[in-house]
Amino acid sequence: MPRTALTMRVLVVGGGAREHAIVSALARSSAEVYACLKNRNPGICRTAKVFELIDETNVPKVVDFAKKSGVELAIIGPEAPLEAGLSDGLRASGIPTSSPSRSAARIETSKSFMRDLLEKRKIKGAVKYALVNSMDELGPALARLGMEVVVKPVGLTGGKGVKVWGEHLTSVQDIEAYAKEILSNKIGGSASIVIEEKLVGEEITIQAFCDGKRVVPMPAVQDHKRAYEGDKGPNTGGMGSYSQSDGLLPFLKRSEYEAGVEIMSDVVKALRKEDAEYRGPLYGQFMLTREGPKVIEFNARFGDPEAMNVLSLLKGDFAKVCEGMASGKVPKNEAVFAPQASVCKYVVPEGYGTKSLAGEEIKVDEQGIAREGALLYYANVNEKDGRVYTTSSRSVGIVGISGSVEEAERIAEKGIGHISGRIHVRHDIAKKEMLDAKVRRMEMVRRGEL
Ligand code: AMP
């Protein structure tokens, strides 16, 4: 798009499929994109006016690039640069930023801060929990909470540090061994653990555009974190996700969605009271239980893959939405979504979740994917001499959009048929059998049978 007086120069930080979706949504709107990323993502590098390969957590370098490029706005995709204080660095250089400060991002980067905030401000959706900083504190915590718990490092682990009773932990010895491992290896960056009651229900994601005061919600999405079909295997960053045309999910009632949005709104208000104004996309992950949505975690950014669902459906001008988050007033008339269903499936390297086959070439027939009507978002791959190579992380996100989840799923699958190599895909995600099983399961949860 030629730059006009109305075109804004926007910096996007990060090189995954979430950031490719951000870049695509900006490119469709009134923005000229500048990108900082650590891997050569072909989708981002091709769309950006200028890109630079940099360590995304190197605040001075990213700020230098932003200043040199004359960007007027910035948005940060992943959590690590938020924790490194990149938003603060950009704002200090006079660049409005649609991502939270390091202090506000503690809602994600510190699970103890998040749990303490919900408790202190009496926000709904809180769960019973205990903070454990030494093995001596573990016994009393388990005496209070019981054995049916979830054990999490306090800091960031890319969604992979959580162990759940009945799945990864089946005895008190398992809990002790994992607690010891977190404490001695400082998993997540510190010797601190959160032990939480185990919640039973269906997991849902609600994302919202936040401007410090208000939250403007996006359609609900369901992600699938387990590596293998049937929700088995290790937790991953997410294998695929879907959303429904009415913004709900097959087992989610509007009143429950609204209860989730209210929790998020209360969190944004609470952060303001803590002098940590939250500006940027906020991600709420909830367990839909018999008593309504309970908080599993918050992310201080879009979800990955959930960003691909919602941004593919966004009809408004995304640059204006981002500008509104940064300046303190999200334009509601721009935060509108097509009333369609979306299905995103991730293509990952063989072994992803345990030991990924990195550095392998994969073939991506972009035209074939486009012919099927599917959308393509490159993730953590590297392009070299026109070829695409895997890294240890996810490779490509393929999205189908249609009136029904069933049809969107078919489109996504047809798109995936144009990718080859030593790859793995969860074909079961968003298939009718799976959705029906979730509806049945949620009915059992509501009846108190699970
Ligand atoms: P997190 O990194 O906090 O999103 O956790 C990763 C996964 O662990 C979630 O997607 C859930 O499946 C599971 N999990 C986390 N916390 C709980 C909890 N309190 N009860 C049950 N499952 C949980």
| Tens place of pLDDT per residue across the chain (450 aa) | 455 557 999 999 999 999 999 999 999 998 999 999 999 999 999 999 999 999 999 999 999 999 999 999 999 999 999 999 999 999 999 999 999 999 999 999 999 999 999 999 999 999 999 999 999 999 999 999 999 999 999 999 877 789 999 988 999 999 999 999 999 999 999 999 999 999 999 999 999 999 999 999 999 999 999 999 999 988 899 999 999 999 999 999 999 999 999 999 999 999 999 999 999 999 999 999 999 999 999 999 999 999 999 999 999 999 999 999 999 999 999 999 999 999 999 999 999 999 999 999 999 999 999 999 999 999 999 999 999 999 999 999 999 999 999 999 999 999 999 999 999 999 999 999 999 999 999 999 999 998
Q: Whose CA is nearest to atom 3 of ligand 1?
A: 297
Distance CA 213, CA 61 (A): 31
Q: Whose CA is nearest to atom 15 of ligand 1?
A: 296
Residues within 6 Å of ligand 1 by CB: 127, 150, 152, 159, 162, 164, 196, 198-199, 203, 225, 235, 285, 287, 296-297
436 CB-near residues (< 8 Å, 6+ apart): none
Cβ–Cβ under 8 Å, residues 424 and 354: no
> What single letter denotes the amino acid at residue 425?
V
Cβ–Cβ under 8 Å, residues 402 and 333: no
Distance CA 379, CA 374 (A): 16
189 CB-near residues (< 8 Å, 6+ apart): 153, 155, 156
Q: How far is the CA of 165 from the centre of ligand 1 (A)?
A: 11
3-class DSSP state of 53: strand
Q: Cα dihedral sign for 390, 228, 372, 220?
A: negative
3-class DSSP state of 22: helix
Per-residue burial over 56-85, b = 16 or more CB atoms within 10 Å of its CB, e = otherwise: bbbbeebbebbeebebbbbbbbbbbbbbbb
Q: How many CA atoms lie within 13 A of 415 on its CB side?
A: 26
Q: For residue 287, what are its two tokens?
A: 């367990």
Q: How far is the CA of 296 from the centre of ligand 1 (A)?
A: 6
pLDDT attached to residue 5: 53
Interior angle at CA 76, CA 71 and CA 77, nearest 5? 135
- Helical residues (DSSP H) of 274-351, grouped into ranges: 306-313, 318-327
Cβ–Cβ under 8 Å, residues 117 and 271: yes
- Bridge-based pairing state of the strands 202-211 and 279-289: antiparallel
Distance CA 7, CA 156 (A): 36
**Residue 359: exposed, middle, or buried by beta-carbon count in 10 A (0-12, 13-18, 19+)?**
exposed
Interior angle at CA 285, CA 131 and CA 435, nearest 5? 130
pLDDT attached to residue 354: 93
Q: Whose CA is nearest to atom 16 of ligand 1?
A: 296
Q: How far is the CA of 218 from the centre of ligand 1 (A)?
A: 22
Interior angle at CA 277, CA 300 and CA 187, nearest 5? 35
Q: How far is the CA of 367 from the centre of ligand 1 (A)?
A: 38
Q: How many CA atoms lie within 13 A of 119 on its CB side?
A: 11
pLDDT attached to residue 234: 86
Distance CA 21, CA 373 (A): 16
Q: Which of 112, 118, 164, 165 to mutate to test the pocket of ligand 1 (most atoms within 8 A of CB)?
A: 164
Q: Which of 108, 118, 162, 193 to mutate to test the pocket of ligand 1 (most atoms within 8 A of CB)?
A: 162
- Ligand 1 nearest-atom number relative to CA 159: 2
Cβ–Cβ under 8 Å, residues 138 and 149: no
- Which residue do the tokens 């930023």 mark? 97
Q: How far is the CA of 161 from the centre of ligand 1 (A)?
A: 10
Residue 232, number of CB atoms within 10 A of its CB: 9
Distance CA 437, CA 443 (A): 10
- Ligand 1 nearest-atom number relative to CA 297: 3
pLDDT attached to residue 3: 53
What secondary structure does DSSP assign to 70-135, as a single string? T-SEEEE-SHHHHHTTHHHHHHHTT--BSS--TTTTHHHH-HHHHHHHHHHTT-TT---EEEESSG
**Residue 185: exposed, middle, or buried by beta-carbon count in 10 A (0-12, 13-18, 19+)?**
exposed
